[in-house]
């Protein structure tokens, strides 16, 4: 018999966060989260998303043992401002038992119906800066800090319970040796002169911060046309600055500004923390912090996290300026592999950016939907 329990205590929330450590303990490809950071994500007093969203967390038990988990999420900005009557769910993990996954999804669906929502979609987080999608290809590929990993049986559970594929995301990588400066080195200088642009380079995190709010504003403008987009609010900006910027080498943050010093493009690249996180096993102390710090300084793999260009500057070659800056930094640091995070398969504009680097698709993932 499967029992579903809504969690209500800090200890239960910690059990919720730590459940995947159990079912992926023997996986070479799963990358654990930082437990402390994950708990803060679910803390209403820490994460400002809860001013515009709500979440309920459930654990599934069988024979008094935890066998599954799910977060049921409603983003009210999405529901009320965008008229997307979506019941979100994420952090969905379970043993290979159809009754377990069914019971958890039924709880999500029940909440959706209670709130007069029209459909469920997941796995997704609270916003576009959270993890997304169930992995369907690439189970033998190392995950990243900012993606979910799952066992191959997950997709069969979704489909068995009446869920159909909604949005497809692809992930790619390319060796740095594929990057040929002749594709952008000369043209970037022309683009700068034609549109009176200049690039900004940083060596200290505090140099980035004055531009961070403008970066999120640009993010909202450049991604607003995507079907999955939910705007980042002003109050969320400070939270995301604290959560993400500290993990990024300042040399890996690139901005392009116009003649009035207004931000028109940005890119954030992160060192790969995957191996360090596996070694840290979810804990920053006593040694996890040192492992992450070492990866930040020494990782030869980098992850392209975000890239955004103001709509009026798209298709004008502005990314050549960004790539020229990265080429110089990556060459100096001896970077070997460039990894891209999940991108919507139908986002043709973003795929065009990478075409000269001969990228290889190594993972696919989907969100799935069920009408209520």
User: 372 lies in a domain?
Assistant: no
- Assess whether 97 and 241 both reside in one domain: no
pTM of the model: 0.92
User: 369 lies in a domain?
Assistant: no
Is residue 370 within 8 Å of 163, Cβ to Cβ?
A: yes
Report residue 179 as tokens: 């990057």
First-to-last alpha carbon distance for the chain, in angstroms, is 25
- Assess whether 231 and 136 both reside in one domain: no
3-state secondary structure labels for all residues of 179-196: CCHHHCHHHHHHHHHHHC
What is 221-243 written as a DSSP string? Answer: HHHTTSTT--PPPHHHHHHHHHH
Separation of alpha carbons 310 and 220, rounded Å: 9
Of 112, 147, 171, the one marking the end of a domain is 171
User: 184 lies in a domain?
Assistant: yes
List C-alpha distances in Å: 24 to 20, 29, 39: 6, 9, 19
Separation of alpha carbons 277 and 231, rounded Å: 29
Separation of alpha carbons 343 and 314, rounded Å: 17
- Assess whether 243 and 355 both reside in one domain: yes
Domain count, the chain: 2
- Assess whether 80 and 182 both reside in one domain: no
Which residue(s) pair with 198 in the sheet?
A: 257
- Assess whether 150 and 226 both reside in one domain: no
Report residue 200 as tokens: 């900004």
User: 368 lies in a domain?
Assistant: no
pLDDT in the model for residue 24:
97
Q: How many residues does the chain have?
A: 372
CATH number at residue 79: 3.40.630.30
- Assess whether 340 and 194 both reside in one domain: yes
SS3 72: strand
- Assess whether 308 and 165 both reside in one domain: no
CA angle 30, 69, 151 (to 5 degrees): 35
- Assess whether 78 and 219 both reside in one domain: no
Of 147, 171, 195, the one marking the end of a domain is 171
Separation of alpha carbons 304 and 238, rounded Å: 21
Domain extent at residue 112: 2-171
pLDDT in the model for residue 182:
87
User: 345 lies in a domain?
Assistant: yes
- Assess whether 164 and 190 both reside in one domain: no
- Assess whether 232 and 123 both reside in one domain: no
User: 274 lies in a domain?
Assistant: yes
- Assess whether 182 and 157 both reside in one domain: no
Of 171, 193, 222, the one marking the end of a domain is 171
Averaged in consecutive runs of 10 residues, what is the pLDDT profile of the chain (372 residues)? Answer: 94 97 96 95 92 96 97 95 94 98 98 98 90 97 96 98 97 94 90 95 88 86 71 78 79 94 93 96 90 93 92 91 95 96 86 87 97 96
User: 370 lies in a domain?
Assistant: no
Separation of alpha carbons 193 and 191, rounded Å: 5
pLDDT in the model for residue 226:
65
User: 367 lies in a domain?
Assistant: no
Q: Which residues of 230-246 are buried (b: 16+ CB within 10 A; e: fewer)?
A: bbbbeebbebbbebbbe
Separation of alpha carbons 337 and 173, rounded Å: 7
- Assess whether 90 and 141 both reside in one domain: yes
pLDDT in the model for residue 266:
92
């Amino acid at each position: 018999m499967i029992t579903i329990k809504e969690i209500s205590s800090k200890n239960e929330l910690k059990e919720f966060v730590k459940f995947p450590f159990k079912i992926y303990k023997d996986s070479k490809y799963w990358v654990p989260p930082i437990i402390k950071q994950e708990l803060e994500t679910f803390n209403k007093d820490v994460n400002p998303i809860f001013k515009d969203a709500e979440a309920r967390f459930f654990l599934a038990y069988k024979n008094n043992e935890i066998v599954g988990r799910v977060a049921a999420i409603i983003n009210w900005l999405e529901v009320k401002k965008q008229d997307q009557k979506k019941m979100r769910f994420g952090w969905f993990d379970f043993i290979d038992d159809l009754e377990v996954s069914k019971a958890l999804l039924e709880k999500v669906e029940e909440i959706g119906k209670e709130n007069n929502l029209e459909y469920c979609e997941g796995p997704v987080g609270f916003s576009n800066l959270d993890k997304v999608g169930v992995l369907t290809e690439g189970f033998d590929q190392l995950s990243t800090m900012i993606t979910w990993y799952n066992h191959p049986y997950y997709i069969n559970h979704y489909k068995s319970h009446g869920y159909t594929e909604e949005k497809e995301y692809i992930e790619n990588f390319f060796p740095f040796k594929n990057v040929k400066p002749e594709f952008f080195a000369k043209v970037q200088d022309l683009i700068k002169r034609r549109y009176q642009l200049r690039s900004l380079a940083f060596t200290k995190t505090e140099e980035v911060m004055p531009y961070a709010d403008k970066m999120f504003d640009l993010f909202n403008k450049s991604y607003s046309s995507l079907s999955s987009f939910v705007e980042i609010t002003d109050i969320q900006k400070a939270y995301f600055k604290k959560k993400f910027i500290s993990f990024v080498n300042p040399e890996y943050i690139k901005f392009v500004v116009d003649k009035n010093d207004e931000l028109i493009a940005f890119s954030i690249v992160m060192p790969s923390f995957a191996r360090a996180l596996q070694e840290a096993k979810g804990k920053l102390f006593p040694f996890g912090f040192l492992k992450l710090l070492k990866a930040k300084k020494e990782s030869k793999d980098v992850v392209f996290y975000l890239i955004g260009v103001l709509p009026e500057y798209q298709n004008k070659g502005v990314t050549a300026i960004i790539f020229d800056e990265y080429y110089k930094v990556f060459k100096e640091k001896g970077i070997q592999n460039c990894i891209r995070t999940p991108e919507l398969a139908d986002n043709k504009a973003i795929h065009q950016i990478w075409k000269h680097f001969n990228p290889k698709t190594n993972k696919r993932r989907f969100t799935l939907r069920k009408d209520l």
